[in-house]
Amino acid sequence: MGEAAMKVHENLYWYREKGFLDSNTYVIRGDITILIDPGLRKYAQIKAEEMQNDGIDTKGIDIIAVTHLHPDHCDAISFFKERADAKIALHTSQIEHKHVLRDISRILRMECFDFHEDIVFDALGEVGLDVLHTPGHSPESICFFVKSCSALICGDLFFLNGVGRTDLPYGDESALISSIERVRALDADIVMPGHGDIIRNREEVRRNFEIITSFFR
């Protein structure tokens, strides 16, 4: 598939960040198709073409979800929403923290739903998906755990050999540490962060947790 895109698992695709301040984009496919973190709008057409090459029709996207509402992760929501009859999926904390939405208020004019109120993931069948509230980098941050391949999509909670910034407005180092420990207990085989490379081996995932938690000792 080339350097830009990668089929990580039968139901899981990775589209690499394209440039400065863009983010990794992920697609989960079951009976429904979920796009997570569309990234910057300026790179959305490139990602859409990569998805098309993988047999993913952007018109068929059912849900557009975001790990958190920083522009590098959600700026392209409108691009994909214009092409698909998709719902915009947020978490209760994302809807409540209006301060995060000031610069991207157009999202509020779209059809949104709360993960905790709408039972949609039954349509993923055996793929399985859990949504976890993981504040720290931002108060509304969430992670996705894809059960079928034990993959953690963690946004900017942490990365390969690094953790999310907490010096941005509303960042919270104590909350970040607690969130990292929470997802560590999942014992994931694959970690898929918002930026940089994914971590594909369970032992490497465990090693990475050792490295990043040492920053706080």
Q: For position 22, what pLDDT does the model report?
A: 97
Q: For position 114, what pLDDT does the model report?
A: 52
Torsion angle defined by CA atoms of residues 19, 16, 63 and 91, in that order, rounded to the nearest 10 degrees: -70
Q: Determine contact, residues 116/155, Cβ cutoff 8 Å.
A: no
Q: For position 85, what pLDDT does the model report?
A: 85
Q: How far is CA 7 from CA 10, 14, 47, 51, 53, in A?
A: 7, 6, 14, 10, 11
In angstroms, rounded to a whole number, what is the distance separating the alpha carbons of residues 187 and 215? 20
Q: What residues contact residue 109 under an 8 Å CB cut-off, 6+ apart?
A: none
Helices (H) then strands (E): counts for the chain:
7, 13
Q: Determine contact, residues 124/94, Cβ cutoff 8 Å.
A: no
- In CATH terms, 5-214 corresponds, of 3.20.20.370, 3.90.1300.10, 3.40.50.300, 3.60.15.10, to 3.60.15.10
Q: For position 49, what pLDDT does the model report?
A: 96
Q: How far is CA 113 from CA 34, 80, 156, in A?
A: 14, 17, 22
Q: For position 69, what pLDDT does the model report?
A: 85
| Predicted confidence pLDDT, tens digits, the chain (217 residues) | 345 578 999 899 999 999 989 999 999 998 889 999 999 999 999 999 999 999 999 999 988 989 998 999 999 998 999 999 888 877 666 554 554 444 444 444 444 555 554 344 544 556 788 888 899 999 889 999 998 899 999 999 999 999 999 999 889 999 999 999 999 999 999 999 999 999 999 999 999 999 999 999 8
In angstroms, rounded to a whole number, what is the distance separating the alpha carbons of residues 68 and 61? 19
Domain locations along the chain:
5-214
Q: For position 117, what pLDDT does the model report?
A: 41
Q: For position 101, what pLDDT does the model report?
A: 46
